[in-house]
Structure 1
Amino acid sequence: MRRTLLRAASTGSWGDFRHRPVDAAHLRDLCRAPERVDPRGLMIRNAKIAGLLDLSGMDIPFPLRFEACEFAEPPLFDGARLHELALLRCGLPAGLQANGLRVTRDLDLSRSTIAGALQTPASTSKQSAIWLCEAEIGGRLLCVGTRIRPGGIRAIHADRLRVAGAVRLINGFEADGEVRLIGAHIDGALDLSGAQLRRPDGGVALALNDMNLGGSLFLIGDATHRKPVVEGRIDMGAARIAGQMIVRDAELGGTAPLTGPYASSRSGGTAISAPRAAVNGDLSFEGVCRVHGGIDLSLGEFGFVHFTPECVLDAAGGVALDLRNADLRSSVELADGVTVRGTITLDGASVGGNLLLRGVRLSKPGDGPLLSARSTRVLGDVEAQRLHAEGGSVDLRGAEVGNNLDLEAATLFNPERFTLYLHNATINGSVRLDAGFSSDGEVRLSRTTIGGRLDLRGGTFTDRDGHAIEAEGLVSRGGMYLGWARVSPSVNLTGAQTTTLADDPDTWPGEFLIRGFTYERFGPLTAESPPNWDAGPRIAWLARQSSFEAGPYEHAARVFREHGHLAAAEEVLISQRRHARHAATRQAGASPRIRLWALMDRLYSLFGYGYRPGRAGWPLVALLVAVFVLMLVPSGAGTLRATDPRGNVYTPTGRLVTVSPVSPPAPGTLPDRVGDYSTHTPSRPSPDPCGDGQVRCYNAFFYAIDTVVPLVSMGQRATWYPDTHTPSGEFLMWFLNIATLLGWVLSSVLVFSFARLARSV
């Protein structure tokens, strides 16, 4: 055996020992005499290494290669300096100890099977099958098809490992314990293609905390389509990756809660725990990825974060994807078809591109929201078309979106609770809840500022209790397009502001609040349809408010008036007065004063509250005509009398009725003539309607004006009065007095109406 060993050493060729034992002491002696070894190295095949191979602290300038060898005891390389070390298809049932190892080129453990549970001074509490703490590898660390079966918790313990090349744990690499690379510095890539990492107790399967990776991290299928599997948690807290992190067709799962310095309050059952991690390139989950447990990327820095359609994030009742306070330099995309059970949280995150959630299915969030993006800043769009969210809310409280928020055809189901929560958010573009959007729960838009449009055309909004849409204090600078397909039971737009109100008044719910709701114009719901400036539907809409408010009427009238629809504005204000009266009288226990006011207001309404002067003008003209005709015919005019200062009485025909009373006849004498009256002169009176200029001349037209329009005096009514000694005179007196009262009312209404119109001009 010794001769074979020396021949292999001197010639630099493979020494095949055919499963015979080789004394570890002989190997050590050769390593201590490098002049006896060919520069190509010492290569041993099919040997059983007997005894302890202890090369600790040695400086070995030639390669050491072992193939298909069995080591009875764990080889020791602590502090050694080697040119190259290869343990290919070897069996190490007791483990491998190489803390502080320095390898100029590669450390290759490919297709070897390593077991054991060594404990070293590097850790006083944990055991591991392989120890590489503070080792330095000038080339690559290769574990192609390597199988590690530790007797303890850890498979590889390599804290602060430094590798100038890549670390490749690929092509069927299996580890039934923790692979620990905390604080490692790897200049190349970390390749886990087809790796199988299992932690039976559900703890940490791969620990990469504080790792610095100069290349990319690959957790993908290998050339034989073997899928990577990690049963346990991947810890990457504060890791730094200069390239990409690609996870493809992987099965990841962690069930044990996270503890220790990298723990967060919601890390129970976390599959990937990477708070404060940084990935300079893309972070992609591709193919058929199944992640059982949450992905914690909080406080991290990432480029493009991407999940392809067949990915499933399953953290039911917990946080499925945690991006709280993360700095995302590009977009975050969950592609159409991604299924998420649990909560996606981006609270306080900054997204440099778009947040894309098209066609994603969200469910089972526990007590929290399905999507939480409170105080999140998105420079681009939030696109969630066809999003399906069941059992929780989409919460964007205080978020700022640089462009549009699009939930076209999305389905949000969270009965009696919130479905969409945009309280105090700022959307610089438009908000689309249209084209088949459906919400079963409350959509809250209160105090939200929208730089573009709020588009609800074709949306369905329902809630079993409360408002289907709560938008108190909403500001939408590009207009509100409220052509919803259905909304029930109520809408609250108290204090909302917009430029264009485009709606169908007939489709509003049975209850709605619009106190303080302001808009500048009415607009069409579609580009093909003209705006509706018909006052009738708008008045009916205002009348259906949950409670009477005068402000919405006044604002609608102002909008009509500012756009030249004066008649419509007046109709709205007339309706306001009418509904105000109804609201006052409907109140229980209305006082007599209020009821009297209501009665007077009802009378005033007959004349359009001053907005319809014709309603008072035409009756006034009719009354003038009636009085004029009556005072023109003999049956009316014939009963009038006038008295001059001397007491002479005249009729409109000029017939002198009385000049002065006759003195009583002397006793025993007869009067001058038969009758009650006579003249002082022997001449007979002549017909004169003006009484010889002693009274105002009678004119039926001016008499009618003087009677019906008491605001002016023509002197006719003061001069001519009905003779109440006759039946027709008594009737005429009552008729004229009533006409005066009616004329006063109608004239006053007419004057006030014109005064109101003058103020409106």
Structure 2
Amino acid sequence: MEHRDTIPAMEINDLTPAERRVWEAFPRGDGIDFREHPDDSSVDGAGWGPDRTLRAEVLRALLLGAAPAVEGRVAGLKIKGARIVGKLDLRYAVIDHPIRMRDCWFERKPLLYGAQLKALVLGYSTLPGLTAATLRVDVVLRLSCCRISGPVRLAGAKITGGLFLQGAVIGPTSGEEADEPPLQLNHAEVGTDIIANDLTVHGQLRLNGAVVGGQVSLDNARLLTPGGIALHAETLSVGTDLRAHRLEARGMVNLTGARIPGQLNLARAAFANPGGTALRASSCTIGEVWLRGCDRIQGVVNLRRSHFDMLHIPPETWPDQIRIDGLSYRTLAPHLPAEERLPALEREESGYLPYAYEQLAAAYRTAGDEAAARTVQLAKLRRHRRTLPRHTRLWGLLQDATVGYGFRPLRAAGWLTALLLTGAIAFALQPPRPLKQGEAPDFNAVFYTIDLMLPIIGFGQEQAFAPSGRYQWLSYLLIVTGWILATTTAAGVSRSLRRQ
């Protein structure tokens, strides 16, 4: 065992009765429970007496090999309900024994910088902090239900198994601001999962550059950094899912550059960062993003340049301002009429983004809803028209009114039918005079009107008869309207063929 010959001599007679119990139990791996009642809370540990008090230097000596081994037994530190006084300094130590210190109260923060441990379990304990950057743990690190008032430094840690933080409360709870992020896991490597359900962090949870082999679970977690960054997880890499069902985030959730092949499940989460960005997931590659059941997000949502296979977000969840330039997604859920999705595109901070409309239309086509896709394309052209100078909008208005830019072809048929009926009735009541008496064919009000309206069709009626008075003005109107309808219809058909 490393450091064995550097351990100062410690006589067994120097130990208190409480320490003697731990000293004798350690080589056999037996547990010592100092609790007077199973419901004892480590929060009250400052008032525990000498019968529950252990010096940190005694525990350090045990862990570094001061106690003789017992053949056939696995040594280990296993205590409950103890008051640890002094500094437990295990920096750079290599320890092959599991450490289990449940329901303990620590006077000073343990120092585990650069240490190599088998397993570390501190569940339900109260600590002023934990310094364990670049820590190596072979099996598991458990901080479940701990109360830690100072920073937990695990930057660069490597944990072969899992990291458990469920129910823990980390950071100052008295209202003062933390000098540094209370929970630091940046660039940490976790072989399996990070389970942090019901975690409360009074300050920032930092996961920048972390690599997690399994999932990250933050269900029902509370990350409280009003006006700051609640979750800082840039370039986070997760093996499966990031779950944050019913997450409460006061401050920005920053997932820029994250890689999550499974789900980013933010269902029923609450985001609040008024006046700033509430959710930033730009330049991400994520399988499925779930924002189902969320209240309206308070703050900007930034999804620029990200790629999602599926985005599940109800229209009412979008905030007043969004940033979706370059966002791509294959499907959009829940499936709703296009009219309910389009208002969100008006909230883009940069203004009119043609790609955002194309992406929404593509999602509807993927779902097999061609009618909704055409509605989106029509909305795109109308939105584009508003960006043009006033004097150039007339042609667009004509195309929109007549054929809906080619997306409403039946509208042209309606116009033609209405004009045809108007002309046929008018000219049937007052037939025009023939240009050459005795040479003109029999007059037909319907085909005469068609001759006037459709320039590419000729039935010989228009050249044979000449209306007069107000009927002559009616014929001019039919001719001009026919040309407009023919031109706008041709433009719409051409645009449709280009899309195909």
Tell me the TM-score range normalised by the shorter chain. Answer: 0.7 to 0.9
Alignment of 1:493-642 (within 5 A): 493-523=303-333, 531-546=334-349, 547-582=351-386, 584=387, 594-606=389-401, 607-633=403-429, 635-638=430-433, 640-641=434-435
Displacement after TM superposition at 1:484 (Å)? 1.4
Judge conservation of contact 1:452–1:477 (CA < 8 Å) in 2: yes
Structure 1 CA distance for aligned equivalents of residues 459 and 419 of structure 2: 17
Distance 1:598 1:292, change over 3 A: farther
Quick one: structure 1 residues 476 and 323, their matched pair in 2 at CA, closer, same or farther if it must change by over 3 Å?
Answer: same
CA contact (8 A) 1:482 1:501 kept: no
Alpha-carbon separation, structure 1, partners of 2:19 and 2:284? 57
**2:18/2:54 contact within 8 Å kept:** no
Distance 1:485 1:281, change over 3 A: farther
1:345, distance to aligned residue in structure 2 (A) = 1.8
Choose 484-493 or 373-382, whichever is displaced more.
484-493
Q: CA–CA distance in 2 between the matches of 1:533 and 1:228? A: 64
1:230-256 deviation line (CA, Å, top 9, x unaligned): 3889878x95799434454433344xx
* Structure 1 partner of 2:17: 171
Q: How big is the shift at 1:340? A: 0.3
Distance 1:559 1:488 in 2: 26
If asked which structure has higher relative contact order (CA below 8 Å, sep 6+), I would say 2
* 8 Å Cα contact 1:170/1:191 also seen in 2: no
1:356 is matched by which residue type in structure 2? Answer: F
For 1:285 and 1:373, the matched residues in 2 are separated by 22
Letter in 2 for 1:427: V
Whether 1:295 aligns to 2:110 is yes
Matched-pair contact (CA < 8 Å) for 2:225–2:251: yes
The 5-angstrom pairing of residues 74-113 of structure 1 reads none
C-alpha offsets along residues 235-292 of structure 1, whole Å, 9 cap, x if unaligned?
78x95799434454433344xxxxxxxxxxxxxxxx22222112223122223x2212
Q: What displacement does 1:605 show? A: 2.2
State the alpha-carbon separation in 2 of the partners of residues 566 and 354 from structure 1. 47
The alignment status of 1:275 with 2:84, answered yes or no, reads: no
Counterpart position of 1:304 = 119
Q: Does structure 1 conserve the Cα–Cα contact (< 8 Å) formed by 2:57 and 2:88?
A: no
Deviations 1:369-393 (A, max 9, x none): 1111111111111111111111x21
Distance in 2 separating the partners of 1:222 and 1:542: 60
For the pair 1:453 / 2:192, whether they are aligned, the reply is no
| Closer/same/farther in 2, CA of residues 231 and 225 from structure 1, 3 Å limit | closer
Match of 2:189 among 374, 377, 389: 377
Q: Distance in 2 between matches of 1:240 and 1:144?
A: 14
- Distance, in Å, in 2 between the alignment partners of 1:560 and 1:513 is 21
- List alignment gaps of at least 5 residues for structure 1: 1-132, 147-168, 175-189, 195-212, 255-270, 315-319, 524-530, 586-593, 642-649, 655-687, 691-696, 724-728
Question: Could you report, residue by residue, the CA deviation over 1:182-228 in whole angstroms, capped at 9, with x for unpaired residues?
Answer: xxxxxxxx95479xxxxxxxxxxxxxxxxxx9987999869998223
Which of these residues, 486, 492, 498, is aligned with residue 747 of structure 1? Answer: 486
Q: Verify the 8 A CA contact 2:7 2:64 in the aligned structure 1.
A: no
Q: Which has the larger displacement, 705-714 or 394-403?
A: 705-714
1:173 shift after superposition = 7.0
Q: CA-to-partner distance for each residue in 1:71-125, whole Å, 9 max, x for gaps?
A: xxxxxxxxxxxxxxxxxxxxxxxxxxxxxxxxxxxxxxxxxxxxxxxxxxxxxxx
Map of 1:227 onto structure 2: 52
Q: What does the per-residue CA deviation read over 1:4-61, in whole Å, with 9 as the maximum and x for residues that have no partner?
A: xxxxxxxxxxxxxxxxxxxxxxxxxxxxxxxxxxxxxxxxxxxxxxxxxxxxxxxxxx
Q: Work out the CA distance in 2 between the residues paired with 1:222 and 1:560.
A: 62
State the distance in 1 between where 2:188 and 2:24 align: 35
Structure 1: how far apart are the matches of 2:267 and 2:367? 25
Q: 1:247 to 1:716 in 2, by over 3 A?
A: same
| Among candidates 65, 70, 83, match of residue 251 of structure 1 | 83
Give TM-score, length-normalised by structure 1: 0.57
Distance 2:289 2:186 in 1: 25
Residues 1:231 and 1:759: Cα distance change in structure 2 (over 3 Å): closer
Q: Is the 8 A contact 1:171 1:222 kept in 2?
A: no
In structure 2, distance between residues paired with 1:708 and 1:134: 105
CA contact (8 A) 1:404 1:429 kept: yes
Distance 1:333 1:569, change over 3 A: same
d(CA) in 2 for partners of 1:426, 1:352: 16
Task: Tell me: CA distance 1:486–1:618, structure 2 relative to 1, closer, same or farther (3 Å).
Answer: closer
After superposition, the Cα gap between the structure-2 partners of 1:596 and 1:234, relative to the gap in structure 1 and judged at 3 Å, is: farther
Counterpart of 1:464 in 2: which secondary structure?
strand
Output the CA distance in 2 between the equivalents of 1:355 and 1:445.
20
Q: Is the CA contact 1:385–1:409 (under 8 Å) kept in the aligned structure 2? A: yes
Matched residue, 2:178: 366
Pick the aligned partner of 1:343 from 151, 173, 176: 151
Superposed, 1:362-441 pairs within 5 Å as: 362-364=170-172, 366-390=178-202, 392-435=203-246, 437-441=247-251
* Cα shift at 1:142: 8.1
Identity level (%): 23
C-alpha distance in 2, partners of 1:283/1:629? 98
In the alignment, the residues of structure 2 paired with residue 559 and residue 135 of structure 1 have an alpha-carbon distance, to the nearest angstrom, of 67
Contact 2:261–2:287, Cα closer than 8 Å, also in 1 = yes
Report how far residue 483 of structure 1 moved: 3.1
CA gap of 1:218–1:710, structure 2 versus 1, over 3 A, is: same
> Secondary structure of the equivalent of 2:329?
coil
Indicate the SS of the match to 1:541: helix
1:347-400 deviation per Cα after TM superposition (whole angstroms, max 9, x unaligned): 11111111110000111383211111111111111111111111x211000111
Of 685, 688, 705, the match for 2:450: 705
Tell whether the 8 Å contact from 1:613 to 1:749 is kept in structure 2 after alignment. Answer: no
Report Cα offsets for 1:623-681 as digits up to 9, x if no partner. Answer: 23333344444x2322x41xxxxxxxx13xx2xxxxxxxxxxxxxxxxxxxxxxxxxxx
Q: Secondary structure at the match of 1:279?
A: coil
Q: In structure 1, how many angstroms separate the alpha carbons of the residues matched to 2:150 and 2:130?
A: 8
Distance 1:240 1:577, change over 3 A: farther
| Larger proportion of helix | 2
Deviations 1:404-447 (A, max 9, x none): 11111111111111111111111122112223x21111111111
Paired residues of 1:233 and 1:273 also in contact (CA < 8 A): no
CA contact (8 A) 2:398 2:488 kept: no
Q: 1-side partners of 2:234 and 2:384: how far apart?
A: 33
Residues 700-759 of structure 1: per-residue CA shift (max 9 Å, x gap): 444322211124445543x33526xxxxx1433332222111111112222333344444
**Superposition TM-score, scaled by structure 2 size:** 0.84
CA-based RMSD: 3.4
- Corresponding residue SS for 1:544: coil
Distance 1:495 1:252 in 2: 51
User: How far apart, CA to CA, are the structure 2 residues paired with 1:605 and 1:464?
Assistant: 39
Contact map agreement 2:303 2:323 (CA 8 A) in 1:
yes
Aligned residue number for residue 720 of structure 1: 464
* Maintained 8 Å contact 1:143/1:173: no
The answer on whether the counterparts of 1:620 and 1:747 sit within 8 Å (CA) in structure 2 is no
CA distance in 1, matches of 2:183, 2:193: 16
